[in-house]
Chains A and B, each alone.
Chain A
């Protein structure tokens, strides 16, 4: 008998504006034109949260993530107010993780201390590279020195639990260059490092005018060299692109990857909510465009739609296979309500191809499978048949 359980719940808050939209970015973000309408956006977030908090029906929230866009464009006062709302409307776990995404180019002296005072416990800093030329190609507004200063500020403010976002596979970069970036990052003693390959996403400036990217073999060499360096420094790769010191994994992201629930408030924010009693997993999405979001937020929560059962294995795997730890069969059943046997066919096939390894207790992508995750995921997509005629 498989029983769907309500998994841990997190809260995601989206802040859609940036000083300038980066040419590679396909997130829901917009170049800020004119003054930032902090209060109007706060009011919309409040209405949004009030409507959604009812659906959380007293479940404990284990983490909060303030992402964007550039949330650090918002003042510590505004961020404090958002966290205050969350405290009023939701049941927050003791000692929960509260992450704020920050752009090193928007941080004035003393600001991180104020964020911390407002309730932030963890910061994710968009460093991307420590090569000024590459930062310019990426359209970043900050300099390597600004990143260094921001990291110093973080340590000084007692926010030593911070993440650095780094990209690799940049135009003109070789393995040595990528390792240099890693060295520069390590010098700032981060607790966590996210190492992303630059990919050209549809709908971005780069997709329209693609820069010359390094050869695949070159990129593979970068990844190997960087991974080695990070491991030597005690940063363990626990997900496709995430490295952390022991105990410093991002709890909020782990919740996504373990197919947990989350409320999503803010423009374009996505939510996932399990209704164990109804045997349903629901998804929601708010309007992407800030102006529309501002107009709609007062009208109440976004409509939630049940994920069809045949989609659940794919959605679970899309997340769980990214983790080095993989997953236990019991977790699959608790999160999806589906019997483990429903995976027999794709799982058997992928194990035969040695893309997934498992011992009955725990299953995960093999080193080869981890490199070809898309290939694995295709096997879990339900068969769709185009209608003919």
Chain B
């Protein structure tokens, strides 16, 4: 165990995390290949385990250090987007140390700061690494000062490397085994293994990535998942190198996978503890902080027959995405679906894409919204994650919107543009501080403005130099109204949005115009209106189609006309019916697009 190092790499998206990881794998390869040969022969049904290789989130490497010892390095992956900071804390729980990788010319950015603090809070040893020192624009001295000033950790002996050329990577590995502590834990104690991640494989069922904290577990043993209380027999276990290598036993300090014939999707929840059935540990490990979704949207299958498979797919995704929430929702316009909660728009995009690509579902999404706190006139307080559930105006005492604290780092050249953006987004400045070559800003911003397009806008006004991180702060009263869209007089629940009173007219106008553009002409005139309560604030008309007749079937050839009409019918199936009006899916997405430029 003293020869094991569990670590992760904290880095901004393009600061060179994967290049460095590749370099590590390459440097340890000579050893790895010799070791692998025998092991590959051992794992007879690699084919069946193909599902596992796809989602290796940890890599075990063997490193021959200068002290003559061979170390086992477990490198655990961490995601890099602001939406997924919770995933980071999950990965960190499996580690004893972290490499903080900072680009030698770009300097520190906000998300690394946040992740670094999370690592320090969890008691990890943080080793600063300055990467890309081969670049002409590299300024390691400056970046070193930034690390000290902004993050506040000692950086004088920060490692200077170029993952690209390999310069300094050897020294980094030596520093890693020297400075990151070996895992603590008792291999003789009852088993406690933390589930870092779980995913569903169609062949073998649930596959879990675990960090063994105490004790050990071997193939064939009976394990118990603490939260479900259910016992399962371990079919196989092992590690990723990055190929899955089957082992006989995982012991305290190890990071690896366990397959135990768990067929039910929620059989091994992330953050749960695994112990042995006949020698259970007296306590479970502390799990992860439950993350509350902040952005909600209704997802509806285009074909109503897909509802069941949609529910299955959500359950499978939820298995390793504990931030994904869902519950059934019925929409007048879109039928049966699920109200889903996400961490942010990127999270929503990813979930939707996975559902469409991996589960072959055709989905329509209603406008995303944040959760509002609504005080009713009768004194009750409700949390509203769906605009159509907003009580009638006369029953609302006050609507409060979620406010976040945003920490932004930006070079002085772009401060002006970022300040303007924050003001446009109804932000309130809390702090502004010049730190070395960067300015640190702290703002209170309405979450609704942030989820819409803040991240993209921030990147564009700062030419990509600004970075930010946020956390929820509090609910705050605001003059908010519900904007409804009516089509031929019928309110379309999936198109309702909650907006600030000052922007309601503009958003209404934009929405109505967009609808007019997107709704195809039909056999009758279609009126599109935007309304607040009973007051119509914008309207537009989709003119009626005059006629719709094919030319005759020349020479009795019906096949071409049939194909043409079959295509039309397919197109119609992808439309949603509101009253007699057929609305294409793009119209529902339009709500996302307006006011987002």
- Contacting pair A372 B547 (CB below 8 A): yes
A381-B566, A389-B360 are known contacts. Are A374 and B556 too (CB-CB below 8 A)? no
Which residues does chain A contribute within 8 Å of B558, judged by CB atoms? Answer: 270, 283, 315, 318-319
Which residues does chain B contribute within 8 Å of A239, judged by CB atoms? Answer: 552
- Residue in contact with A271 in the complex, picked from B556, B565, B566, CB distance below 8 Å: B556
- Contacting pair A373 B549 (CB below 8 A): yes
Which residues does chain B contribute within 8 Å of A381, judged by CB atoms? Answer: 562, 565-566, 569
Interface centre among B305, B309, B565, B570 (most CB of A within 10 A): B565
Q: How far is the CB of A144 from chain B (nearest CB, A)?
A: 23
- Interface 1/0s, chain B 557-589, versus A by CB < 8 A? 111011001101110100000000000000000
- Contacting pair A272 B550 (CB below 8 A): no
Say yes or no for B330: interface residue by CB 8 A criterion: no
A318-B561, A378-B572, A388-B306 are known contacts. Are A264 and B551 too (CB-CB below 8 A)? no
Say yes or no for A238: interface residue by CB 8 A criterion: no
Q: Which of A145-153, A181-189, A214-222, A343-351 contacts B (4 or more CB under 8 A)?
A: A214-222
Question: Nearest residue in A to B550 (C-beta to C-beta)?
Answer: A374
- Contacting pair B548 A256 (CB below 8 A): no
Say yes or no for B546: interface residue by CB 8 A criterion: yes
**A241 vs B549: C-alpha distance in the bound complex, in angstroms?**
10
- Residue in contact with B555 in the complex, picked from A14, A318, A385, CB distance below 8 Å: A14
- Report 28 cross-chain contacts, Cβ distance below 8 Å, ordered by A residue: A27-B554, A67-B555, A216-B545, A216-B547, A217-B546, A219-B546, A220-B546, A239-B552, A240-B552, A241-B552, A264-B556, A269-B555, A270-B555, A270-B556, A270-B557, A285-B557, A315-B558, A318-B553, A322-B552, A368-B523, A371-B548, A374-B548, A374-B565, A381-B562, A384-B566, A384-B569, A388-B306, A388-B360
Say yes or no for A12: interface residue by CB 8 A criterion: yes
Interface residue count on the B side (C-beta < 8 Å): 28
Interface centre among B545, B555, B559, B568 (most CB of A within 10 A): B555
Q: Which residues of B contact A (CB under 8 A)?
A: 305-306, 309, 360, 523, 545-559, 561-562, 565-566, 568-570, 572
Q: How far is the CB of A337 from chain B (nearest CB, A)?
A: 17
Say yes or no for A199: interface residue by CB 8 A criterion: yes
Interface centre among A271, A374, A378 (most CB of B within 10 A): A374
A378-B569, A389-B360 are known contacts. Are A372 and B557 too (CB-CB below 8 A)? no
Interface centre among A241, A311, A372 (most CB of B within 10 A): A372
If A220-B546, A268-B557, A377-B565 are given as contacts, then 4 extra A-B residue pairs at C-beta distance below 8 Å, sorted by A number, are: A28-B555, A256-B556, A371-B548, A373-B549
Say yes or no for A206: interface residue by CB 8 A criterion: no
Say yes or no for A314: interface residue by CB 8 A criterion: yes
Which residues does chain A contribute within 8 Å of B554, judged by CB atoms? Answer: 27, 67
- Contacting pair B556 A372 (CB below 8 A): no
Which residues does chain B contribute within 8 Å of A385, judged by CB atoms? Answer: 305
- Contacting pair B309 A388 (CB below 8 A): yes
Question: Nearest residue in B to A14 (C-beta to C-beta)?
Answer: B555
Which residues does chain B contribute within 8 Å of A368, judged by CB atoms? Answer: 523
- Contacting pair B546 A371 (CB below 8 A): yes
Tell me the residues in window 310-335 of chain A with beta carbons closer than 8 Å to chain B beta carbons: 311, 314-315, 318-319, 322
Tell me the residues in window 361-389 of chain A with beta carbons closer than 8 Å to chain B beta carbons: 368, 370-375, 377-378, 381, 384-385, 388-389
A314-B562, A384-B566 are known contacts. Are A374 and B549 too (CB-CB below 8 A)? yes
**A151 vs B565: C-alpha distance in the bound complex, in angstroms?**
37
Say yes or no for A262: interface residue by CB 8 A criterion: yes
Which residues does chain B contribute within 8 Å of A374, judged by CB atoms? Answer: 548-550, 565, 568
- Residue in contact with A315 in the complex, picked from B306, B546, B555, B562, CB distance below 8 Å: B562
- Contacting pair B555 A285 (CB below 8 A): no
Q: How far is the CB of A224 from chain B (nearest CB, A)?
A: 10
- Contacting pair A199 B551 (CB below 8 A): yes
Which residues does chain B contribute within 8 Å of A318, judged by CB atoms? Answer: 553, 558, 561-562
**A368 vs B522: C-alpha distance in the bound complex, in angstroms?**
13
Interface centre among B305, B306, B546 (most CB of A within 10 A): B546
Question: Nearest residue in B to A253 (C-beta to C-beta)?
Answer: B552
Which residues does chain B contribute within 8 Å of A378, judged by CB atoms? Answer: 565, 568-569, 572
Q: How far is the CB of B100 from chain A (nearest CB, A)?
A: 44
**A374 vs B520: C-alpha distance in the bound complex, in angstroms?**
15
Say yes or no for A74: interface residue by CB 8 A criterion: no
Q: How far is the CB of B303 from chain A (nearest CB, A)?
A: 8
Which residues does chain B contribute within 8 Å of A270, judged by CB atoms? Answer: 555-559
Q: How far is the CB of B304 from chain A (nearest CB, A)?
A: 12
Question: Nearest residue in A to B544 (C-beta to C-beta)?
Answer: A216
**A368 vs B554: C-alpha distance in the bound complex, in angstroms?**
24
Which residues does chain A contribute within 8 Å of B555, judged by CB atoms? Answer: 12, 14, 27-28, 65, 67, 264, 268-270
**A67 vs B557: C-alpha distance in the bound complex, in angstroms?**
13
Which residues does chain A contribute within 8 Å of B566, judged by CB atoms? Answer: 381, 384
- Residue in contact with B553 in the complex, picked from A28, A268, A319, A370, CB distance below 8 Å: A319
- Contacting pair B306 A372 (CB below 8 A): no
Interface centre among B551, B559, B570 (most CB of A within 10 A): B551
Which residues does chain B contribute within 8 Å of A65, judged by CB atoms? Answer: 555
Tell me the residues in window 159-217 of chain A with beta carbons closer than 8 Å to chain B beta carbons: 196-197, 199, 201, 216-217
Which residues does chain A contribute within 8 Å of B309, judged by CB atoms? Answer: 388
- Residue in contact with A371 in the complex, picked from B360, B549, B556, B565, CB distance below 8 Å: B549
A371-B549, A388-B306 are known contacts. Are A12 and B556 too (CB-CB below 8 A)? yes
**A67 vs B561: C-alpha distance in the bound complex, in angstroms?**
19
**A216 vs B552: C-alpha distance in the bound complex, in angstroms?**
20
Which residues does chain B contribute within 8 Å of A14, judged by CB atoms? Answer: 555
Question: Nearest residue in B to A252 (C-beta to C-beta)?
Answer: B556
**A270 vs B558: C-alpha distance in the bound complex, in angstroms?**
9
Question: Nearest residue in B to A370 (C-beta to C-beta)?
Answer: B549
Which residues does chain A contribute within 8 Å of B565, judged by CB atoms? Answer: 314, 374, 377-378, 381
Which residues does chain A contribute within 8 Å of B562, judged by CB atoms? Answer: 311, 314-315, 318, 381
- Residue in contact with B523 in the complex, picked from A197, A240, A253, A372, CB distance below 8 Å: A372
Tell me the residues in window 215-248 of chain A with beta carbons closer than 8 Å to chain B beta carbons: 216-217, 219-220, 239-241
Which residues does chain B contribute within 8 Å of A253, judged by CB atoms? Answer: 552
Chain A to chain B: the 4 pairs with minimum beta-carbon distance, closest first: A371-B547, A270-B557, A216-B546, A220-B546
Question: Nearest residue in B to A260 (C-beta to C-beta)?
Answer: B556
Question: Nearest residue in B to A272 (C-beta to C-beta)?
Answer: B556
**A240 vs B547: C-alpha distance in the bound complex, in angstroms?**
12
**A240 vs B548: C-alpha distance in the bound complex, in angstroms?**
11
Question: Nearest residue in B to A203 (C-beta to C-beta)?
Answer: B560
Which residues does chain B contribute within 8 Å of A377, judged by CB atoms? Answer: 565
Q: How far is the CB of B549 from chain A (nearest CB, A)?
A: 4
Question: Nearest residue in B to A270 (C-beta to C-beta)?
Answer: B557
Which residues does chain B contribute within 8 Å of A196, judged by CB atoms? Answer: 551
- Contacting pair A373 B550 (CB below 8 A): yes
Which residues does chain A contribute within 8 Å of B549, judged by CB atoms? Answer: 240, 370-374
**A365 vs B552: C-alpha distance in the bound complex, in angstroms?**
16
Which residues does chain B contribute within 8 Å of A373, judged by CB atoms? Answer: 548-550
Question: Nearest residue in A to B572 (C-beta to C-beta)?
Answer: A378
Question: Nearest residue in B to A388 (C-beta to C-beta)?
Answer: B360
Interface centre among B306, B550, B559 (most CB of A within 10 A): B550
**A381 vs B305: C-alpha distance in the bound complex, in angstroms?**
19
Question: Nearest residue in B to A239 (C-beta to C-beta)?
Answer: B552
Tell me the residues in window 248-301 of chain A with beta carbons closer than 8 Å to chain B beta carbons: 253, 256, 262, 264, 268-272, 283, 285
Which residues does chain B contribute within 8 Å of A283, judged by CB atoms? Answer: 558-559
